[in-house]
A and B are shown apart, each in its own frame.
Chain A
Amino acid sequence: MSKLLSILESLDRRWIFLAMAISVAGPILYIGITGKTLPETPTPAARAVYKEIEALPPGTPVLLSFDFDPASGGELIPMATSLVHQCAARRLRMVFIALWPLGPQLIDETIKRVILADYPDLKEGVDYVNVGFQSGNEAVMKVMLTDFAKAFPITKNGIAVGDVVALQGIQRVLDFPLLITISAGYPGAKEWIQYVVSSSGGKIKMVTGCTGVQTSALYPYYPNQLSGLLGAIKGAAEYESLVNSSLAPNDTSAAIPAKYLEAQRRMGPQLGAHLLMIALIILGNIAYFAQRKSKVRATS
């Protein structure tokens, strides 16, 4: 026993790194080989996101703001995929913008992955448009409150927004009934709430998908200013299961393309990592208390 405790006390952190690598890689390999995912029970916050989008009639314009970069892609790209998947299936008019410089590339990738691959009937500029990036953070939001074209004069392809069919009838951001943000930090969901939703007097609803770090800071706004919230990969997995079950209710998960199961697949490694963390905390405390006890004995 004392030998085990001394090992724990002087454990090289590289063993912990190795254990973490195994606990994450194991589920990745298992899910990759078998294709099985863990079942999800959606929470009310995830259900609310789904319901808000589902409540919109086809042709309704929605604003999708990609406020993240590839660093947070592990958590947010599966969310972006599912959100665009549901919007495309509902035949909503999707207007993509980005307040982060690398957002437009992520928008293009999502369009390629979902719309071009599975909804080829949707036309660029008519059913969806990538307006691109604009610098200025909250100032862009403030300008969008009064004049959308002033904040985003041209699309990513260089076409004047006034000539884009997908943007017809849009004078200002409040003309969108729903704002969907995928947020990794500043500027992001919090700024959208503070500068747009709060000053809209209820004219615009907002749902967001955010990183785990942001989730706790956004809960105070749910469900009033924020109609729905997807927190981290768990929220993404819950929402993904909802979208999949509604779009392909009779299909088994094996029939669903892997890109639409990405969040649920990532819950496996998350489970492994969380269990390891708990085990490490317990072991660390055992070592700590044993050491304290032996110190007390030595002094007495």
Chain B
Amino acid sequence: MKRLVPMWIAIIAGFVMLLSAFFPITESLGETVGDVFNVVAAIAFILGAGSLAKVNLAKISRRDQGWGYAAITLICFAITLVVGLGKIGVPPNTQFPLLAWSGEKNADGSIFGWIYEFALVPITSTMFALLAFYVASAAFRAFRAKNLEAILLLSTAFIILLGRTFAGVVLTGWLPDWASGLRLENLSVYIMQVFNTAGNRAIIIGIALGVTATSLRILLGVDRSWMGSGD
């Protein structure tokens, strides 16, 4: 039953969405399924919160390696949830000054806004910026001109790296107009628009065919792996 009901929900919803794309008469049915999906997606946030708590609490209780990080995750999660839902420190909306909870949760002076501005933004930006350091280290150790393919890859990388900066203009900006196609900034655009586009289109078409085949298998109930392996 636990597998049969979700399977039939997926089959019916899938076929309704499929039909609504081809037959205008079934468009409203497709909209209804879309609405249901939106409600389920919103509920998934609660499910996600529950899952986060479950996984991290289990880690802490088992004293797994790095359980301290799990504790920090849960503490931060709880603080953000409480100050966000409780709108702690939020000044009331100027239109409704008597209603304490009428202000926006991230208004100036709110703790939620403070967490966003002084914790979330710097942390996420730092994580993203760290990539530059690891990419540089990886490039030094792994990017080797071992064979023809690697040489082609290296040459392309050099053209793109130089063409996407002012260095490209400095190095090849002197080329006359009739040879402007060889300027590094133009070469990098050419590589992106021709070679990259051709390769990516092939990948996109391949993925589309794969998605179609997988979708059909799910719609016909042949593929049930999406429900997980639990009973």
Contact = CB atoms under 8 A, between A and B. Distances in A.
State the majority secondary structure of interface residues on A: helix
A281 B161 CA distance: 12
Interface string A13-37: 1001101110010000000000000
Contacts, number: 142
A143 to B, nearest CB: 5
B192 A215 contact: yes
B82 to A, nearest CB: 18
Given A41-B169, A70-B120, A281-B154, A219 B136 contact: no
B139 A280 contact: yes
A16 B201 CA distance: 36
A202 interface: no
A7 interface: no
A140 B41 CA distance: 10
Contact of B144 (A45, A70, A285): A285
Interface in A195-229: 215-217, 219-220, 222
Contacts of A108: 106
B34 interface: yes
Nearest to A151: B38
B201 A105 contact: no
Interface stretch (B51-59, B67-75, B124-132): B124-132
A139 B133 contact: no
B204 interface: yes
Nearest to B186: A43
Nearest to B158: A278
B133 A16 contact: yes
Interface string B206-220: 000000000000000
A275 B136 contact: no
B220 to A, nearest CB: 22
B144 A143 contact: no
Given A70-B120, A157-B104, A281-B143, A274 B162 contact: yes
Nearest to A137: B41
Interface string B7-29: 00000000000000000000100
Which 10 A-B pairs give the minimum distances between C-beta atoms?
A71-B124, A136-B38, A139-B37, A280-B140, A271-B165, A136-B41, A38-B166, A70-B121, A284-B140, A274-B161
Given A38-B166, A275-B167, A284-B143, 20 more contacts: A11-B140, A16-B133, A16-B137, A16-B140, A20-B133, A70-B124, A70-B125, A73-B124, A74-B125, A105-B106, A135-B41, A135-B42, A135-B44, A136-B34, A139-B37, A267-B165, A270-B164, A274-B167, A277-B139, A278-B158
Interface of A: 11, 13, 16-17, 19-21, 24, 38-39, 41, 43-45, 69-74, 102, 105, 108, 134-137, 139-140, 142-143, 146-147, 150-151, 156-157, 215-217, 219-220, 222, 231-232, 234, 267, 270-271, 273-278, 280-281, 283-285, 288
10 contacts: A69-B124, A71-B127, A74-B125, A102-B120, A135-B44, A151-B38, A157-B93, A219-B200, A274-B161, A288-B144
Interface of B: 27, 30-31, 34-35, 37-38, 41-42, 44-45, 93, 104, 106, 116, 120-121, 124-125, 127-129, 132-133, 135-137, 139-141, 143-145, 154, 157-158, 161-162, 164-167, 169, 185, 189, 192-193, 196-197, 200-201, 204
